């Protein structure tokens, strides 16, 4: 019996719903969940004896702490009780990459004669530095047991092209330029995994099957469903970030394959 803890920010939700649908495929796994919205999850701390959760110094309100306790039955979790800990929703901020590809003519990735040029070597050096800044606290890399696996948050859903907010416009522009399916985004994910691996950390990024024709996450994987042309929700109020159980099935399977490997 392998004990696995899935924990993380709100992106834990999709994977939990997905895993429930495929749990029977993994009879040897005993899975627990623990998490909180991103702000609260980020305030949680890891102690030297591998307790993780809300501590006395965590910058969270009592109401937020009670909500975690009500949802998961506890405020902190003993990581030593697990063989594997999977941390979901790790932010690698693909939108920053989208913005760079939009603002510069990167050799071989986003070439455009009207944009300032950037060599691929410089792009990679800058991105590696940027991704290094997004690494989790070194304490995570120091954990020998349980095995710790990070899972990147989903790429924005295709529905975001209808939005006009700063968080959706870079994606719409990238799609307009036909670059989402280009090598730039994949290269960024490859580098992210490499930067993590360099520190002894394992990062899972969304597999190709969750991506739609535009290169963003399929619209029907969006938690709120795919917006119709006349959908009142389409636009800036639509939740392009969180995914549903169908997405969760694919991610959970990908995670479980990694755990088994």
The residues of the shown chain that bind other proteins, judged by CB under 8 A, are 9-14, 16-17, 33, 35-39, 67, 70-72, 91, 93, 95-96, 99-100, 103-104, 107, 116-119, 121-122, 125-126, 128-130, 132-133, 153, 166-167, 170, 223, 239, 241-242
State in angstroms the smallest separation of the CB of 202 from other proteins. 22
Separation CA 68–CA 29 (nearest Å): 24
Rg (CA), the chain: 19
Nearer to other proteins, 145 or 253 (CB): 253
Beta-carbon neighbour count of residue 157 at 10 Å? 32
DSSP 153: P
Nearer to other proteins, 126 or 139 (CB): 126
State in angstroms the smallest separation of the CB of 130 from other proteins. 5
Nearer to other proteins, 2 or 99 (CB): 99
The two counts, helices (H) then strands (E), for the chain are 9, 10
Burial profile 200-230: b = 16 or more Cβ within 10 angstroms, e = fewer = ebbbbbbeeebbbebbbbbbebbbbbbbeee
Beta-carbon neighbour count of residue 91 at 10 Å? 13
State in angstroms the smallest separation of the CB of 89 from other proteins. 9
State in angstroms the smallest separation of the CB of 9 from other proteins. 7
Nearer to other proteins, 167 or 176 (CB): 167
């Amino acid at each position: 019996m392998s004990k696995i803890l899935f924990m993380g920010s709100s992106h834990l939700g999709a994977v939990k719903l997905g895993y429930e649908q495929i749990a029977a495929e993994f009879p040897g796994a005993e899975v627990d969940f623990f998490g909180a919205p991103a702000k609260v999850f980020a305030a949680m701390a890891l102690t030297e004896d591998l307790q993780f959760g809300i501590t006395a110094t965590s910058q969270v309100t009592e109401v937020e702490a009670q909500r975690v306790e009500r949802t998961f039955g506890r405020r902190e979790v003993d990581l030593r009780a697990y063989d594997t800990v999977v941390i979901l929703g790790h932010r690698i901020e693909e939108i920053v990459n989208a913005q760079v590809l939009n603002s510069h003519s990167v050799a071989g990735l986003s070439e455009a004669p009207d944009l300032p040029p950037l060599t691929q070597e410089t792009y990679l050096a800058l991105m590696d530095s940027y991704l290094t800044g997004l690494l989790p606290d070194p304490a995570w890399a120091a954990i020998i047991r349980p095995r710790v696996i990070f899972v990147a948050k989903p790429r924005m859903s295709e529905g975001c092209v209808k939005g006009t907010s700063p968080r959706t416009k870079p994606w719409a522009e990238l799609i307009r330029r036909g670059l989402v399916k280009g090598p730039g985004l994949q290269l960024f994910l490859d580098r992210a995994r490499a930067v993590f691996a360099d520190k002894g950390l394992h990062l899972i990024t969304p597999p190709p099957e969750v991506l739609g024709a535009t290169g963003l996450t399929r619209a029907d994987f969006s938690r709120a469903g795919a917006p119709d042309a006349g959908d009142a929700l389409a636009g800036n109020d639509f939740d392009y970030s969180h995914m549903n159980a169908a997405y969760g099935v694919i991610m959970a399977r990908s995670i479980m394959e990694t755990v088994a490997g």
